[in-house]
Amino acid sequence: MSFTNGLSTDEAYEMITKNLQETLNGQIIREVLEKKEKALSLYWGTAPTGKVHCGYLVPMTKLAHFLKAGCEVTVLLADLHAFLDNMKAPLEVVNHRATYYEHCIKAILRSINVPIEKLKFVVGSSYQLSAEYTMDIFRLSNKVSQNDAKRAGADVVKQVSNPLLSGLIYPLMQALDEEFLKVDAQFGGVDQRKIFVLAEENLPGLGYKKRAHMMNPMVPGLTQGGKMSASDPNSKIDILEEPKAVKKKINTAFCAPGNVEDNGLLSFIQYVIQPIQELKSDKNGFFEFFIDRPEKFGGALTYTSFEQMKQDFKEEKLSPPDLKIGVTDAINDLLAPIIKELKANEKFMEASEKGYPEPVAQKTKKVKQPKNKGTFYPGASKTDSTLSEVTDKVAEKLEESKI
């Protein structure tokens, strides 16, 4: 029986680690693949806070690679983590968001033709409230200092001037999750690195084995600097974004001529569009990027090499407006089947409505301004007259200064 879908150990390892920015303890992954006793088990966790956006397509392509290599993949819908992250939402609202995330992830993977039979979803609170887990939190808190916990969560937990204690518990829980989910490896963004190191350094002290950790790069947002983030609406494109809204956001995205280092659009092509094209075509290295450029600017373009396109942009042979045309069309093509599936899903629409309710506009009473009655009305005080005289004198001085 093959646990790697017919791939050799080297082929499976290459598929599993493809496009990653970094892998810690990769030998653990190799050992599981070489023993051929079971499928490699791993998990990816996500805290259901803001709405799913296009940045999530980066880890989705990796989940696709893992499944293609025969891995058993668990998606942890970390509801308690979302609750602990500076109280971004009440727990009852987070529960609806977890359902929202599950439907989004399934729809994304189906849209790129990835079989999800080996994909398992687990809600964090289903085991994180157990006595055993709670005791391990206490045990781990006896090993990890306040500074270490704060440093581990610095790139993940929302940072505020007066942080809550919950922000220190968050990284401890994430470290323990890999033991309670019984996996060989954990996968996440490179922003999770400090939490991964915390787990590697401290779990063996509790008698638990060390795991491998895999990290995908963070795709820059549409604004200059920073990652694509749910907390910054201008930096990201939601999974349900309509074509006109996509076009508007891409047109205003930061894209300086010749700048290939801080370019969210090129990064999106490299880490989302090309991997998805490879998965759909089942051809390694396949790339076809069409730019519907107007005839007056040279006509349509088709690139079959990302590196060539990147070089052309660097040398300013490819302009920012043309790149934006191609990215807009590519994103709308990717989102169309996802939007169609989700909008036809009643459970998803209900979860969306309850998890992200529209803010209710508060009605405020108009403050009544006192009328200026002048100074010669019955009952006017001497102070009123004096104030009026002073005001008149100031006005006269101002008029004189204009002459």
Q: How many other C-beta atoms are found inside a 10 Å radius of the C-beta of residue 333?
A: 12
pLDDT tens sequence across 46-78: 999 889 999 899 999 999 999 999 999 999 999
- Domain that includes residue 294, residue range: 243-355
Q: How far apart are CA 221 and CA 263, in angstroms?
A: 8
* Domain endpoint, select from 321, 340, 355: 355
Assess if residue 401 is contained within a domain: no
Owner of token pair 């302009």: 319
For the chain, what is the domain count?
2
Residue 201: what pLDDT? 96
Do 51 and 93 lie in one domain? The reply is: yes
Owner of token pair 């102070």: 383
Do 255 and 211 lie in one domain? The reply is: no
Assess if residue 283 is contained within a domain: yes
Q: How many CA atoms lie within 13 A of 2 on its CB side?
A: 10
pLDDT tens sequence across 127-162: 999 999 999 999 999 999 999 999 998 888 776 677
The CATH number assigned to the domain holding 294 equals 1.10.240.10
Q: Can you point out the beta strands (E) in 137-288?
A: 185-189, 212-216
* Domain endpoint, select from 198, 216, 234: 216
Name the band, by pLDDT with cuts 50, 70 and 90, for residue 85.
confident
* Domain endpoint, select from 355, 381, 396: 355
Do 111 and 17 lie in one domain? The reply is: yes
Do 254 and 332 lie in one domain? The reply is: yes
Assess if residue 79 is contained within a domain: yes
Residue 218: what pLDDT? 86
Owner of token pair 């323990």: 176
Q: What is the mean pLDDT of the chain?
A: 88
Residue 220: what pLDDT? 81
Assess if residue 231 is contained within a domain: no
Assess if residue 109 is contained within a domain: yes
Do 280 and 325 lie in one domain? The reply is: yes
Do 131 and 262 lie in one domain? The reply is: no
The CATH number assigned to the domain holding 133 equals 3.40.50.620
pLDDT tens sequence across 211-259: 999 999 988 878 766 666 665 667 789 999 999 999 999 999 999 999 9
Q: How many other C-beta atoms are found inside a 10 Å radius of the C-beta of residue 375?
A: 17
Do 289 and 185 lie in one domain? The reply is: no
Do 205 and 297 lie in one domain? The reply is: no
Distance, C-alpha 347 to centroid of its chain: 23
Owner of token pair 């963070």: 218
Do 203 and 248 lie in one domain? The reply is: no
Do 207 and 255 lie in one domain? The reply is: no
The SS3 call for residue 257 is coil
pLDDT exceeds cutoff 70 at 403: no
Do 161 and 275 lie in one domain? The reply is: no
Assess if residue 60 is contained within a domain: yes
Name the band, by pLDDT with cuts 50, 70 and 90, for residue 317.
very high
What is the sign of the dihedral through the CA atoms of 112, 114, 116 and 121?
negative
Residue 343: what pLDDT? 96
Q: Which of 110-124, 325-339, 370-384 has the lowest mean pLDDT?
A: 370-384
Assess if residue 371 is contained within a domain: no
Assess if residue 296 is contained within a domain: yes
Do 156 and 261 lie in one domain? The reply is: no
pLDDT tens sequence across 167-214: 889 999 999 999 999 999 999 999 999 999 999 999 999 999 999 999
pLDDT exceeds cutoff 50 at 378: yes
pLDDT tens sequence across 90-130: 888 999 999 999 999 999 999 988 888 889 999 999 999 99
Percent of all residues in the chain with a pLDDT value above 90, rounded to a whole number: 67
Residue 195: what pLDDT? 95
